[in-house]
């Protein structure tokens, strides 16, 4: 009897079967309790992404989905309704999951505990529910950033002290980018992988596996409106790129979107110290450490300018760090300026 031959549609079917859930299990190569936990965690994160994407796609049609709440968060930043919606989505999807005892987010002063999970919930989720909030009301790119850490100790006094450790303690990290399509990018320490949401299936389908950031790229991404608030070294870096061919400025106001471009095409994103924010704007546990985890997995680098981001140990939950992240060569160039070893600017340049 002749062996069955799949039809020509098999390629498309194979692609559609490469779901996030299947990929995570393949990555883990084990059915150990921890592998099953991580797989369930990723499934819940995907659900959070789908819920937020759905809400965003209709936000302009709904009463009271957009705009400010009128309050400020622990960072002193004006809170948008979407920040709160997304913050609560993550809490809801992890309730009764048995996976996560604590969630720490930039929108909450102290971690949120799910007491019924705490006897068994061995993980903590750290997240930025909406990254790029200034883009929300104008229908531009925004994201969510997440990081998973193993809970150490019982944290009976609910101080979250064990979270004050470096980025190497992260088990997994990633982000969801809400753009023309919804994309989820994650790493569990075995490469960086991207998935696109197929809304008709309700599944994230593999789009790119083992992403490697180019060693150098054309993009520099920084808010040059802060020029006069920067240290001289950062001003000199921007003068350098202005005077050299091959650089292009891109800045969306959403770190996730700017990072995604650089991950795929190379270049450097920076949010350096400013006079108003001497530690920069971005938060270590919810923003810079998760993206540092990803870029290192993709063969790039993340630095404060003088230290690897992954090595930074916070003193407080909401600590900020300056950030220089992207292609190794471009990060090194920015560091050279910061460390007072800039390359020579050719004479014929103005």
Chain positions contacting ligand AHG, by CB under 6 A: 77, 128, 131-134, 223, 253-255, 281
Question: Which residues in 125-164 contact Mn ion (CB under 5 A)?
Answer: 128, 130-131
Distance CA 259, CA 301 (A): 12
Residue 45 near which of Mn ion, ligand AHG, none (CB within 5-8 Å, type-dependent): none
287 vs 296, beta carbon nearer Mn ion: 287
Q: What angle do CA 274, 277, 282 make, to 5 degrees?
A: 100
CB of 302 to ligand AHG, least distance (A): 14
Residue 254 near which of ligand AHG, Mn ion, none (CB within 5-8 Å, type-dependent): ligand AHG
Distance CA 325, CA 334 (A): 10
CB of 107 to ligand AHG, least distance (A): 9
Distance CA 74, CA 105 (A): 10
19 vs 73, beta carbon nearer ligand AHG: 73
CB of 249 to ligand AHG, least distance (A): 13
Residue 256 CA, distance from chain mean position = 6
121 vs 300, beta carbon nearer ligand AHG: 300
CA atoms 97, 99, 101, 105: torsion sign? negative
Phi, psi (deg, nearest 5) at residue 311: -90, -10
Residue 223 near which of ligand AHG, Mn ion, none (CB within 5-8 Å, type-dependent): ligand AHG
- CA dihedral (69, 75, 77, 79) in degrees, to 10, reads -20
Which of 125, 263, 131 shows the shortest CA–CA distance to 191?
Answer: 263
CB of 317 to ligand AHG, least distance (A): 15
CB of 177 to Mn ion, least distance (A): 12
Type and span of the H or E element at 294? helix 289-297
Residue 253 near which of ligand AHG, Mn ion, none (CB within 5-8 Å, type-dependent): ligand AHG
28 vs 126, beta carbon nearer Mn ion: 126
CA atoms 293, 297, 298, 299: torsion sign? positive
Residue 203 near which of ligand AHG, Mn ion, none (CB within 5-8 Å, type-dependent): none
258 binds Mn ion (CB under 5 A): no
**Strand extents, DSSP E, 12-122:** 68-72, 78-80, 100-105, 112-113
Residue 179 near which of Mn ion, ligand AHG, none (CB within 5-8 Å, type-dependent): none
16 vs 137, beta carbon nearer Mn ion: 137
Distance CA 165, CA 147 (A): 13
The residues binding Mn ion (CB under 5 A) are 128, 130-131
């Amino acid at each position: 009897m002749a062996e069955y031959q799949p039809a020509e549609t098999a390629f498309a079917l194979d692609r559609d079967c490469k779901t996030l859930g299947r990929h995570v299990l393949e990555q883990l190569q084990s059915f150990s309790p921890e592998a099953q936990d991580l797989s369930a965690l990723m499934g819940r994160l995907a659900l959070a992404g789908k819920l937020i994407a759905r809400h965003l796609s209709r936000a302009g049609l709904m009463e009271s989905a957009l705009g400010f709440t009128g309050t400020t968060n622990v960072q002193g930043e004006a809170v948008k309704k979407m920040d709160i919606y997304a913050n609560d989505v993550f809490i809801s999807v992890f309730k009764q999951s048995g996976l996560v005892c604590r969630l720490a987010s930039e929108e909450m002063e102290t971690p949120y505990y799910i007491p019924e999970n705490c006897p068994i919930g061995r993980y903590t989720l750290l997240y930025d529910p909406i990254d790029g909030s200034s883009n929300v009301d104008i229908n531009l790119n925004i994201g969510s950033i997440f990081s998973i850490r193993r809970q150490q100790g019982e944290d009976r006094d609910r101080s979250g002290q064990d979270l004050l450790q470096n980025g190497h303690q992260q088990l997994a990290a990633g982000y969801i980018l809400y753009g023309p399509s919804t994309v989820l990018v994650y790493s569990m320490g075995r490469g960086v992988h991207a998935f696109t949401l197929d809304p008709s299936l309700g599944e994230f389908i593999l789009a790119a596996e083992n992403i490697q950031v180019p060693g150098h790229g054309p993009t520099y991404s920084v808010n040059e409106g802060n020029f006069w608030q920067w240290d001289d070294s950062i001003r000199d870096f921007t003068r350098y790129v202005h005077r050299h061919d091959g650089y292009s400025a891109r800045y969306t106001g959403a770190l996730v979107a700017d990072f995604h471009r650089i991950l795929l095409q190379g270049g450097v994103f920076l949010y350096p110290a400013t006079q108003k924010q001497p530690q920069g704007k971005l938060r270590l546990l919810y923003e810079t450490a998760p993206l540092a985890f990803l870029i290192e997995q993709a063969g790039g680098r993340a630095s404060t300018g003088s230290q690897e981001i992954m090595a930074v140990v916070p003193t407080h939950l909401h600590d900020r760090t300056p950030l220089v992240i992207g292609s190794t060569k471009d990060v090194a160039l920015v560091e050279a300026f910061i460390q007072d070893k800039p390359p020579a600017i050719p004479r014929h340049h103005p």
